Amino acid sequence: MNASTLNRATPYLFLLPAALILCVALIYPVGYMVWASFLNWNPSQRIGDAEFVGLANYVRLFSDAQFHESFAVTLAFAATVVSIELVLGVGLAMLLDRNIRGMSVLRTLFILPMMIAPIVVGLMWRYMYHPTVGIFNRTLKAAGLDPVPWLSDPGWAFVSVVIADVWQWTPFIFILSLAALQSLPSSTMEAARVDGATPWQTILHVKLPLMMPVLIVTALLRLIDAFKVLEVILVLTNGGPGLSTEILALRISRTASEFRELGAAAAMSNLLLVLLMALTAIMFVYSKITELRNRRQAA
């Protein structure tokens, strides 16, 4: 091997260990899951002994009313929490984007919920939602109001899991929004003030349009993560009452562990994977379009 060939091959030799780890840690498990989705497989048998059923697991899912309901709950949950978190996160970032005493402490306090383990978050909110000793119903009783069935009523149970998720993940939107605000060019803000723009006009017509690329990517990241929420809902409601809070991740877990249908659970996982890959592709395409637009504007 001559020197020029070695120089061309050197980058690939450095990438080889990472490529091998990627194949073992990512591609093999995904391939294993795809193959399992074509089998009638249960935990009492090896995957090699399972019966091959082709697309039967997927056909069954498309005719399964419970799967349809879980999918609808997942879409409603993801859209609701991401919308609320965007409004609150961007609003907090606008509010705290200023130099006042103690602001660093406030920013630190706002991001604390994101650092707590999801299981702990679920237990904490479950205790607060308790019908008799929970802080919410005790406060309502002290005010002379009727207690709320936070976790026993389908509508209130959905609201309860939304509140818990919004409390934990609004700081994620807040951090990225604040970083986007602080990276805006000061010359643009000064020009808006010189032109007589009011604070609300500056936010609506200057800051938000400039922040939009970051906000869209942030929203897509949270949307992808919202489809995979499991621990908080598992601890709070376990998908109940009925199927009112059973999202796809919880449905997959129950299908594999309670119903012992690993093939059907793998098929659900593949459908969820395709959905998340589509969202990731949208985020990637948008980032590329934004990058090309910025290059043209710079040129």
Rounded percentage of the chain residues whose pLDDT exceeds 70:
98
Superfamily, domain 65-257:
MetI-like (1.10.3720.10)
Give dist(CA 62, CA 219) in Å, integer.
Answer: 28
299 or 179: whose pLDDT is higher?
179
What's the predicted TM-score (pTM) here? 0.87
Is 80 exceeded by the pLDDT of residue 280? Answer: yes
Q: CB count, 10 Å around CB of 232?
A: 23
Nearest one of 125, 232, 208, 217 to 176, comparing CA atoms: 217
Q: Categorize the per-residue pLDDT at 235 as very low, low, confident or very high, splitting at 50, 70 and 90.
A: very high
User: How confident is the model over 170-225, as pLDDT tens digits?
Assistant: 999 999 998 888 888 888 888 888 888 888 888 888 888 888 888 888 998 899 89
Let me know how long the chain is.
299
Report, as an integer, the average pLDDT of 162-173.
94
Is 90 exceeded by the pLDDT of residue 79? Answer: yes
CA 245 to chain centroid, in Å, comes to 16
pLDDT of residue 13: 84
Is 90 exceeded by the pLDDT of residue 295? Answer: no
Is 90 exceeded by the pLDDT of residue 8? Answer: no
Domain boundaries, given as residue ranges, for the chain: 65-257
139: left (phi over 0), alpha (psi -120 to 50) or beta: alpha
Amino acid at 176: L
Is 60 exceeded by the pLDDT of residue 283? Answer: yes
Report, as an integer, the average pLDDT of 27-53.
88
Count of alpha carbons within 13 angstroms of residue 165, beta-carbon side: 31
Is 70 exceeded by the pLDDT of residue 2? Answer: no
Q: Secondary structure of the chain in the HEC alphabet?
A: CCHHHHHHHHHHHHHHHHHHHHHHHHHHHHHHHHHHCCEECCCCCCHHHCEECCCHHHHHHHCCHHHHHHHHHHHHHHHHHHHHHHHHHHHHHHHHCCCCCCHHHHHHHHCHHHHCCHHHHHHHHHHHCCCCCCHHHHHHHHCCCCCCCCCCCHHHHHHHHHHHHHHHHHHHHHHHHHHHHHCCCHHHHHHHHHCCCCHHHHHHHHHHHHHHHHHHHHHHHHHHHHCCCCHHHHHHCCCCCCCCCCCHHHHHHHHHHCCCCHHHHHHHHHHHHHHHHHHHHHHHHHHHHHHHHHHHHHC
User: How confident is the model over 248-261, as pLDDT tens digits?
Assistant: 999 998 898 888 89
Give dist(CA 214, CA 109) in Å, integer.
Answer: 23
Q: CB count, 10 Å around CB of 168?
A: 23
pLDDT of residue 71: 93
N-to-C CA span, the chain: 43
Are the C-beta atoms of 113 and 105 separated by less than 8 Å? no
pLDDT of residue 1: 55
Are the C-beta atoms of 189 and 202 separated by less than 8 Å? yes
Between strands 51-52 and 39-40, the pairing is: antiparallel
